[in-house]
Amino acid sequence: MEFKLEAHRIVSISLGKIYNSRVQRGGIKLHKNLLVSLVLRSARQVYLSDPCPGLYLEDGEEEMETGNVANLISIFGSSFSGLLRKSPGGGREEEEGEESGPEAAEPGQICCDKPVLRDINPWSTAIVAF
Amino acid sequence: MRWHQAVPQLSHPWVSLQSKNAPHSQGEYDVYSTFQSHEPEFDYLKSLEIEEKINKIKWLPQQNAAHSLLSTNDKTIKLWKVTERDKRPEGYNLKDEEGKLKDLSTVTSLQVPVLKPMDLMVEVSPRRIFANGHTYHINSISVNSDCETYMSADDLRINLWHLAVTDRSFNIVDIKPANMEDLTEVITASEFHPHHCNLFVYSSSKGSLRLCDMRAAALCDKHSKLFEEPEDPSSRSFFSEIISSVSDVKFSHSGRYMLTRDYLTVKVWDLNMEARPIETYQVHDYLRSKLCSLYENDCIFDKFECAWNGSDSVIMTGAYNNFFRMFDRNSKRDVTLEASRESSKPRAVLKPRRVCVGSKRRRDDISVDSLDFTKKILHTAWHPAENIIAIAATNNLYIFQDKVNSDMH
């Protein structure tokens, strides 16, 4: 159970770092974000493989897994200008895989606050953040 | 007089040298010149600000009275020429002392202008600007032993430049996958071999080193040698990948070995053995249980450099709390020293420091929990011939000298 808690905490921290990297001076650092996404993936695997009851629903997570890790990597791999644009929402090819979460958000704002974040499926959180 | 190159022993005390206003004092250092290398820029196409922060500086081998160096930020490399002027011509015929034209009717004889001494003036001028060569952030530059070319590496590509040509460069390594979703590792550092101008090495975020030979192909994607140590499965954690990422790679002066730095260790590799390093030294293994907090505060992403001494017998690297570490490869002894104002009065002998883990604590030991992680020594340099080291600690530069050497003066 404590592995699950630690893993969940690491997932939240990692998502926070990915989000903050968007507003950092000098643009998104590919190296750092690659490392953060690897930590995110490890933490998520531990979270899912821990047999203890989860903190949130796990339906449909398996099919989301590869798709969303791939989305994160492809976002970092793009020229990043799409991420840094002021207007929310899609339109660029690189962001095709995303869901409609970001349109609801103010640019530059996480649309959920912390207690809600804890209960949401971390992959939905990732999509919401972007 | 022939210099005797003393082999440093870690039992010898290190002495701090501090800059003073007495330029002729033995071992005193003062600021030589200060200049702004890069300015912040804006990439309008990508809506990105390009930081002016300098990532790497490399000196070129000196070929005349001037010194040249390369400095780079994330995107642009610049070649700077540093010259000294300590004489000025006086006695012009047509101009007076202030440079105003003389009335020709007052000139009755001709004289040859003479050079008179003046206060030393250091002039720095940009000679070349190597721009637009990199899409990703430049992490390293390395001057070739041919003194004509140099390479610059970003996360995914390495370019070869000629020092005299700024409008084109050759791409010699490209690890960008066709589909960025397949990206698993990036280039973290690179260096030319000190003697063989066709060989270079680059390190990756996965902890591997690739030695490449430019004679083999124009694009050196296929390495000649791959140096990789299998991961120890018992030490696996969420952060295994981060701590195995190599932050710096340096060839030994002999050209036989390579030194790498990852988050917790420095490793010596023999060019003839690819399977594993021949030596591994723990820099601050007591941080292994603290990786989660270091991840949270971003310290785990700090990129420490490493250095060889002139005879390749001692290696050095920085750590936290303004500590830096030296490892003697022959005696297997190591020492932790501190670069701080309190411990570095001029001529003061540095006292070895110790970080204590657990309950056994001696006087003057620092406990792991009281280490200051904002005081990090990322950059260190060792004089190529003498036992003089330069340590960069936040916004201070410390210069230390082996006491044995300083006694000889």
pLDDT at B409 over 70: no
Contact criterion met (CB < 8 Å) for B238 and A74: no
Structure tokens at B283: 């820099």
A69 min Cα distance to partner chain B (Å): 8
What pLDDT, on the 0 to 100 scale, is given for residue B17?
Answer: 56
The band of A98, judged by pLDDT with boundaries at 50, 70 and 90, is very low
Predicted confidence band at B38 (pLDDT cuts at 50, 70, 90)? very high
| Alpha carbon separation from B303 to B155, B226, B246, B397 (Å, rounded) | 14, 22, 8, 18
Tokens of B53: 């922060």
Percent of chain B with pLDDT over 70: 92
Interchain proximity B295–A39, CB inside 8 Å: yes
Tell whether the model's pLDDT for residue A129 goes beyond 60: no
Q: Chain A interface, mutation test: which of B135, B180, B184, B190, most A Cβ atoms within 10 Å?
A: B180
Q: Are A35 and A43 in contact (CB under 8 A)?
A: no
| Three-state SS at B102 | coil
Check pLDDT > 80 for residue B269: yes
For B206-211, the CB contacts below 8 A with 24+ separation are B206/B241, B206/B244, B206/B245, B207/B244, B207/B245, B207/B246, B207/B262, B208/B246, B209/B246, B209/B249, B209/B258, B209/B260, B209/B269, B211/B271
pTM of the model: 0.80
Q: Shortest Cα distance from A108 to chain B (angstroms)?
A: 15
Sign of the four-CA dihedral A25, A30, A31, A35: positive
Q: Note whether ipTM > 0.90 here.
A: no
According to the per-residue pLDDT averaged within each range, which of B21-35, B41-55, B111-125, B249-263 is highest? B249-263
Query: Where on the phi/psi map is residue A4: left (φ > 0), alpha (ψ -120 to 50), or beta?
Result: alpha
User: Looking at the partner chain, which of B46, B137, B183 has a beta carbon nearest the beta carbon of A34?
Assistant: B183
Shortest distance between the Cα of A115 and any Cα of chain B, in A, equals 19
**Residue A71, pLDDT score:** 55
pLDDT, residue B230, reads 92
3 state SS of B367: strand
- pLDDT of residue A118 exceeding 70, the answer is no
